[in-house]
Amino acid sequence: MSIINFIIYLLTMIGIYSLLAMSLNFQVGFTGLINFGQVAFFCIGAYTSSLLVVNAGVPVVVAFLAAMALSGIFGYIMSIPTKSLKSDYWAIATLASGEIVRLVALNEAWLTAGPFGVMGIPQILKDLISKDAYPVFYLLFVVVCIIMVYFFLGMLANSPFGRNLKAIRDEEELCLSLGKDTQKLKLQAMIVAGMVGGLAGALFAFYITFISPENFKPIETFLMWAMIIVGGRGNFKGAIIGAVVIQLFNVSTRFLGNYVPLGSDSMAALRMMIIGVLIILFLLYRPEGLIKEKKKIYD
Amino acid sequence: MEIAQILINTLVRAAELSLLAIGLTMVFDILKFANFAHTDYAVLGALFAYVFNRILGLNLFLAIILAAFVTGWVGILIDQAIFKRLRKMGAKPVTLMIASMGTAIALRNLMRLIWSSHAKTYAIPLQRPFEILGARITPLQIGILVTGLLSMITFHLLLHRTTFGKALRAISDNSDLANACAIDSEKMIKRMWFLASAYSVIGGSMIAMEHLLYPRLGFDVIIPVFCATILGGIGNPYGAMLGALTLAFAENTVLALDLGPLINLGGLFEVGSIQISTGYKPAISFMILIIVLLFKPTGILRKK
Amino acid sequence: MLTIENLEKRFGSLRALDGVSLEVEDDCIVGLIGPNGSGKTTLFNVVSGFYEKDGGKIFFKGAQIDGLPPNKIAKKGLCRTFQVSKAPEKMTVLENMLLAAEHQIGEDPFSALFMRSRVQKSETANLDRALELLDMLQLSPLKNDYAGDLSGGQKKLLSLGRVFMLKPDMILLDEPTAGVNPTLRVQLMEAIKRLQEMEKKAFFIIEHSMKVISNICDRVYVLNFGQKIAEGTPEEIQQNEQVLEAYLGSA
């Protein structure tokens, strides 16, 4: 792969993961919902959009919207137990549900082609754009999505809705005493986050044109967690920066593998080990992340 | 499947899971956080046992004991380096849980780096199964059952016949009261980590001996262990054993269930045999976990 | 306005509330006193919906409210503060005030995204009211500081201002002056009196300081071991035998 194409690939993947990081940040950094099953949105978004187009011939735009809708609905489902479960128990439940989603994708071959995955996902607007320009086009497409999501999530964060979420994160009882329906708010936050995650999944599926349950293992969720821990919770710039740092690290060490005498399995292990250590180091020494949450000033 | 075989498989699996679950439930109860790295300590210990057994030629039994001992210290070390610092920083239990996730990832991949992802086996002679009541059981499995039983009896004695055990139960029942009685909590916490980690190694080694030893084993078994722990109620080691038994039983029977007759509703519908695909076996513990969390997060046994 | 009939609350075998009945009318300040552990905060927690009752009835503005979740009770006009002031760390004083504002547009994703001009209007109106209240509580210079950085007494003032943003019909204040230095305590008392005169609402206050009670309360109820043992004006209960015994007995 030429250098330019590699950089475009890297940027596109960073872009897709920043959407996932922003979605996770909305749950964790804003609402205090500790979601260890984030990969489920990624998976549902990818599978929904690709299956609709490949198997049912649905127009791409509709497929994307359906992916977002279905992920949003799953977000709703995941939010229901927050009423009765404390945050650490809920986190464990989300871990389990993320894996269940993947196992369904793996086993229900009649729907998802099981371990073989969905192949031959068509590239969007393939006929209109030259083969050489296509990577750039897709990158721009992803960037546009990021800008829109950043804009919308930012608006939500700065609104009374966002204020309520932040308050739930820090003092849920206070919110109840002020008349807030905290359960409904969490639900809404999860639906929004789910939709963004689903969008990322759809973008992913149509980029690499082939997906399988292997792409949606729990390790993905922890990569996203590393991104928001490193980048900074409670703000979306941090989520993007975190995505940049972690993905750069991820991909560049793959590259380095050519020059360093470690086997590919060992490189992968070293890479993940460093990510684990990064998570610990940041939690110990810089818990706010690289980019701190901004104070909201009124004049 | 024969009832006897199900029973044997259940007991063996329950023994393995119990040893992992009692450590987890202790830490969850006393330090108030879910240690996601717990099963990775177990695998680390199992790998140490492998080294002692295969490479240093130690007798398997001794290898495991030694490995449990060493890993007990590792558990203390990790707490000192990571969790204790976070506790001193006033971190919420959720933050500790996230840190334990990071620890789990780091530890798992460190093991992968050192020992590679290839599955390993211990120096165990080929097993010739015995036949009991129409079911088969290998000498190894008998060994696992015996070890499990002995370990649990030892644990019970530790909990009820030593001052350490009494103090543990006191802290578990009421940590403020325990503090007021000047139980040295730092020392207690160290000992607790040692115990939890050491026991997990025994459980982990047994699983590894029965199946395969590979670095990712920790993650593959964390949800079943959590399930057993939560089923039994946090802080209740006997509950954890019961939870392990229940889960093991479910794992061994749910797949054999034929849902066809159920959906048939006694002849109303024409449905052939419907069985849950074996690919879902890992999901059984997940499903049970979610069901328990939804309906009775305090577990089926209340705290004693 | 608030009527409590035979309220019961048990924790295991402990009877925290053992058949308490009392009434708080409109436009007055009523005190609730009693030795530690007599059930005062438990009463507040049950009335405000944070604890479930084990028996009895609670009526607010004529309607039965026991069994409702805390947020619904607050929305009906019965609001409370907490013994240990709760202040979201990463939110400023002004954000805290705005959080509590009564009518807000934009509290859900749809209106936050698509009704921006109305959100803006409602925010501005609420901002004005918040600044007014902060001024009266003398917290204005701290308006853009993190609530977590405030002193204990300032947090109490903030709690007061915050609960007023809700325009409640009745406020339950749980030890509003506890742990506060004497100067600030006077400030708090003045603030409560002023707010009450301004808005003509009902206050139900848990207090330990007899000085505060005699200073601002019109009537007082006394609890001990989960039971009401006396009621009357501050002067009356200060001379009540049973009350003195309860306090001396538990000393």
Q: How far is A153 from chain C (nearest CA, A)?
A: 9
* Chain B residue at shortest CA distance from A79: B294
Question: Would you call B98 and A81 a contact, using CB atoms and an 8 Å cutoff?
Answer: no
Question: Would you call C109 and A169 a contact, using CB atoms and an 8 Å cutoff?
Answer: no
* Chain B residue at shortest CA distance from A100: B283
Strands C202-206 and C227-232: unpaired
How far is A98 from C3, CA to CA, in rounded Å?
A: 49
Q: Is residue A151 part of a domain?
A: yes
* Chain A residue at shortest CA distance from C148: A170
| A74 pLDDT more than 90 | yes
Q: Which of C75, C91, C116 sits opposite A179 (nearest CB)?
A: C75
Compute the average pLDDT of residues B129-143.
82
Q: Is residue A233 part of a domain?
A: no
Its pTM stands at 0.89
pLDDT at B70: 95
Domains and CATH numbers, chain B: 3-295 (1.10.3470)
pLDDT at C251: 46
pLDDT at A274: 92
pLDDT tens track for B13-54: 999 999 999 999 999 988 888 999 999 999 999 999 999 988
Q: Which of C49, C108, C162 sits opposite A188 (nearest CB)?
A: C108
Tell me what percent of the residues of chain C surpass a pLDDT of 90: 13
pLDDT tens track for C12-32: 888 888 888 998 888 888 999
Q: Which helix (H) or strand (E) holds C131?
A: helix C116-136
Q: Is residue A234 part of a domain?
A: no
Residue A84 binned pLDDT confidence (cut-offs 50, 70, 90): confident
| B285 pLDDT more than 80 | yes
| B266 pLDDT more than 70 | no
- Exposure class string for B108-126: b at 16+ Cβ within 10 A, else e: bbbbbbebebeebebeeee
pLDDT tens track for A122-177: 888 777 778 888 889 999 999 999 999 999 999 999 899 999 999 998 888 999 99
State the total domains in chain A.
Answer: 1
Chain A residues touching residue C107 (CB < 8 angstroms):
159-161, 164, 180, 185
Compute the average pLDDT of residues C1-12.
87
Subunit partners of chain B (3 or more CB pairs within 8 A): A
Chain A residues touching residue B297 (CB < 8 angstroms):
84-86, 89
Burial (CB < 10 A; 0-12, 13-18, 19+), residue C218, is middle
pLDDT at B265: 60
Question: Would you call A276 and B82 a contact, using CB atoms and an 8 Å cutoff?
Answer: no
CA dihedral for A267, A269, A271, A273, sign (positive or negative):
negative
Report CA-CA distances (Å) from C9 to C18, C29, C96.
7, 25, 32
Question: Would you call A269 and B86 a contact, using CB atoms and an 8 Å cutoff?
Answer: no
Q: Is residue A23 part of a domain?
A: yes
Q: What is the DSSP string of C22-53?
A: EEE-SS-EEEEE-STTSSHHHHHHHHTTSS--
pLDDT tens track for C44-91: 999 999 998 888 899 998 888 888 999 999 999 899 999 888 888 888
The boundaries of the domain holding residue A107 are 3-217
| C119 pLDDT more than 50 | yes
Best CA proximity match to A138, nearest among A37, A225, A270, A9? A9
* Chain A residue at shortest CA distance from C83: A174
| Fold adopted by C2-83+167-249 | Rossmann fold (3.40.50)
Chain A residues touching residue B113 (CB < 8 angstroms):
266, 269-270, 273
Model ipTM value: 0.88
With an 8 Å CB cutoff and a minimum of 3 pairs, decide whether chains B and C touch. no
Sequence-ordered alpha helix ranges (H) in chain A: 3-25, 39-56, 60-79, 87-107, 109-112, 134-158, 160-170, 172-177, 182-208, 218-231, 236-256, 264-285
How far is A6 from C25, CA to CA, in rounded Å?
A: 74
Question: Would you call B94 and A91 a contact, using CB atoms and an 8 Å cutoff?
Answer: yes
Q: Which of A163, A176, A298 sits opposite C71 (nearest CB)?
A: A176
- Exposure class string for A189-213: b at 16+ Cβ within 10 A, else e: bbbbbbbbbbbbbbbbbbbeeebbb
Q: What is the DSSP string of A141-199?
A: HHHHHHHHHHHHHHHHHHSHHHHHHHHHHH-HHHHHHTT--HHHHHHHHHHHHHHHHHH
Region(s) of chain C under CATH 3.40.50.300: 2-83+167-249
Average pLDDT, chain A: 89
| C202 pLDDT more than 70 | yes
Compute the average pLDDT of residues B258-286.
67
Mutate to test the interface with B, among A34, A36, A79, A89 (most CBs of B within 10 A): A89
- A266: Cβ–Cβ under 8 A, 6 or more apart, which residues? B112, B113, B116
Q: How far is C213 from chain A (nearest CA, A)?
A: 25
Q: Which of A100, A225, A284 sits opposite B286 (nearest CB)?
A: A100
Cβ-based neighbour number of residue A98 at 10 Å: 26
* Chain A residue at shortest CA distance from B112: A269
Chain C residues touching residue A72 (CB < 8 angstroms):
none
